Amino acid sequence: MEKIKIPQSYKPGEADVENVIAPAAMEINPNYLRLENAFSKTLFLFTYPRFLSTGWFDSIINLPNLMDISIFVHPVDTSAALKKLRKKVTQIQAQLMEREEKGLIRDPILETAYQDIEDLRDQLQQAQEKLFNVGVYITIYADSIEKLNSLEEKIISILDSQLVYVKPSIFQHIDGFVSTLPIAQDKLGVHTPLNTGPVSSLFPFVAVDLTSDSGVLCGINQHNNSLVIFDRFSLENANQVVFAKAGAGKSYATKLEIIRSLMLGIDIMVIDPENEYHRLAESVGGSVLKISLTSETSINPFDIPIIPEGENASDVFKSHILNLVGLLKLMLGQVTPEEDAVLDRAINETYASRGITGDVKDFSKLEAPLLEDLQTVLENMEGGQGLASRLYKYTKGTYAGFVNKPSNIDVKNRLVVFSIRDLEEELRPIAIYITLNYVWNLVRAELKKRILIIDEAWWMMKYPDSASFLFALAKRCRKYYLGLTTITQNVEDFLNSPYGHPIITNSSLQLLLKQAPSTIDLVAKTFNLSETEKNLILSADVGEGIFFAGLKHVAIKVIASYFEDQLITTNPEQLLEMKKE
């Protein structure tokens, strides 16, 4: 009777891991390997010059192409190495004596080799150096044979210029491929004897790198395809400036940072002049506060700030008065020194009419005055009538609904966006100033990790008082655990302000995306860019540029995941497609 074999149920095991990792098929050719749709070949280094300078291998490691590099260092027993060197030096000495007996002219090559071997023998004997058999293998990958050969020629050319010679592992590409896998198997076995000094020059961790254990993924390092992960709060200050022409991806990169920072528990506040952050805020449950002449949202610039713990109430009050004077100068335009003094006295009297003076320790129970109260005080003050009439349009005139109302906003959210798109252009610098002052008072009241983003910051840089306020914010925000991000497309207006360069100096992070030819020289001078870096940001694609973090800088490409892109894109074509779906 025939036995029927009953098939056993499938049980996953260790063999499945190999099946997942291994390619579906491999084509072995004398000149290359084909792994499914990719082509690869392995090169090995076999001849080196007499001297190897530190960092000579950087040019290969930092190539942006996909490749695997293995460096095998096999120690050689010192006593065995000394025996071989003794035999070799005896041979060379015999050759030199033979040439001398025949009366031949000196041979510099033999004499140099003799001296080098003797020096190495001395260093080995004194344990100053050790000898190693070193194998260096480079496996390169490409989508086609043509691209593979082009990359091979590029690598050979780079190494040839340094008198380092390289060959492809013809008929041994499978051994070469295995030798560069992360399994530490030297299947190729092409070695060159090198002592400690030359071996140390191969040290592989020399790429321009901005990868850290914590922080936000900013993009891809275009030098070597590594990740640019950085914690802005790890530097001496957490400030950042972003410069780019319109459409280069500056807001896109910033919104990407917002999403990833929120996941790390960082609170974000944004001043948005173009309503670009509205969709993002709604998607993540943030708050959007619209500030316009007719909106219900309002901020009273006369609100007294909360006194931070450990600070003097009188000092905070005086600082607030100075900020108010700066705001009023922005609203009134040109102000003479006499009018400046009148304004200062009028503001103090306006507060005093509500019982608010520098001697009061707690302002929380007192009602703040409004702008119309200041106007009333100015009308009854000598020399203040002219200023009062100039304030009319903000209290009872066209702009009456803008700054003459009590504050009614709630900012208790992880992401708060202040939208000022619906304001007239001449009011935008005033709105940004008021909002910044309000946010600054909140920041000082509670120590918490936050990021404040000011899009189109050049609006503030056009006016001395608002530019001065922004600079003071950039200088002081570090001790309140605040990172300030200033974004601008109008680089010329920003840098031509006397406060433009100091703000950059007080920003440890800088992101330069694609620049316009008309401003490239100014940007290059400000950031001390080389010709190569100038060309890079002139010809960069959207989302590509240079990322500076302290003394380091790399070429970066900002990349979002599919779902992140759906949240932050402002591409009209893409938005229309999303609406249809």
Model confidence over 370-401: pLDDT tens digits? Answer: 999 999 999 988 888 989 898 888 888 888 87
Q: Whole-angstrom Cα distance, residue 6 to residue 104?
A: 87
174 lies in the same domain as 33: yes
The CATH number of residue 308's host domain is: 1.10.8.730
Q: Which domain holds residue 255?
A: 237-290+410-581
123 lies in the same domain as 142: no
Q: Between the ranges 59-68, 194-203, 228-237, 305-314, where is the mean pLDDT highest?
A: 228-237
For residue 452, name the pLDDT band (cuts at 50, 70, 90). Answer: very high
Do the domain assignments include residue 4?
no
Between residues 280 and 424, the one the model is more confident about: 280
Do the domain assignments include residue 209?
no
Confidence at residue 14, expressed as pLDDT on a 0 to 100 scale:
59
Provide the domain count of the chain.
Answer: 4
Do the domain assignments include residue 82?
no
Confidence at residue 119, expressed as pLDDT on a 0 to 100 scale:
78
120 lies in the same domain as 135: no
Q: Between the ranges 79-93, 157-171, 297-311, 426-440, where is the mean pLDDT highest?
A: 157-171
Buried b (16+ CB within 10 A) or exposed e, 497-522: bebbeebbebbbbbbbbbbbeebbee
264 lies in the same domain as 326: no
Do the domain assignments include residue 224?
no
Confidence at residue 498, expressed as pLDDT on a 0 to 100 scale:
87
Confidence at residue 120, expressed as pLDDT on a 0 to 100 scale:
72
190 lies in the same domain as 166: yes
Q: Locate tokens 């392995």: which residue?
A: 42
| Whether pLDDT at 7 is above 60 | no
For residue 97, name the pLDDT band (cuts at 50, 70, 90). Answer: confident
Do the domain assignments include residue 491?
yes
For residue 9, name the pLDDT band (cuts at 50, 70, 90). Answer: low
| Whether pLDDT at 1 is above 50 | no
Q: Between the ranges 137-151, 198-212, 323-337, where is the mean pLDDT highest?
A: 137-151
Confidence at residue 55, expressed as pLDDT on a 0 to 100 scale:
75
**How confident is the model over 301-314, as a mean pLDDT?**
80
**How confident is the model over 444-465, as a mean pLDDT?**
86
Q: Which among 341, 375, 406 is the end of a domain?
A: 406
Q: Could you give the count of Cα atoms lying within 13 Å of 451 in the half-sphere of its Cβ?
A: 27
Confidence at residue 304, expressed as pLDDT on a 0 to 100 scale:
81
Q: Whole-angstrom Cα distance, residue 473 to residue 460?
A: 12
Confidence at residue 298, expressed as pLDDT on a 0 to 100 scale:
85
Amino acid at 357: T
459-487: pLDDT as tens digits: 888 878 788 888 988 888 888 899 999 99
525 lies in the same domain as 379: no
| Whether pLDDT at 539 is above 60 | yes
Pick from 9-23, 347-361, 393-407: least confident:
9-23
CB 124, CB 80: distance < 8 Å: no
pLDDT cut 90: percent of the chain above it: 22
Confidence at residue 478, expressed as pLDDT on a 0 to 100 scale:
87
Structure tokens at 131: 């000898």
Q: What is the mean pLDDT of the chain?
A: 85
458 lies in the same domain as 572: yes
CB 298, CB 405: distance < 8 Å: yes
Q: Whole-angstrom Cα distance, residue 4 to residue 54?
A: 70
Q: Could you give the count of Cα atoms lying within 13 Å of 513 in the half-sphere of its Cβ?
A: 25
Confidence at residue 209, expressed as pLDDT on a 0 to 100 scale:
60
| Whether pLDDT at 22 is above 60 | yes
Confidence at residue 88, expressed as pLDDT on a 0 to 100 scale:
80
418 φ, ψ to 5°? -95, 105
Confidence at residue 240, expressed as pLDDT on a 0 to 100 scale:
93
Do the domain assignments include residue 55?
yes
The CATH number of residue 61's host domain is: 3.30.70
510 lies in the same domain as 526: yes
CA torsion angle 59 65 67 70 (round to 10): 10
241 lies in the same domain as 389: no
**How confident is the model over 234-253, as a mean pLDDT?**
89
**How confident is the model over 293-306, as a mean pLDDT?**
84
Quick one: how many helices (H) and strands (E) in the chain? 24, 18
- Strands 509-513, 482-488: pairing is unpaired
Confidence at residue 32, expressed as pLDDT on a 0 to 100 scale:
92
Which candidate, 568, 552, 566, 494, places its Cα nearest to that of 249? Answer: 568
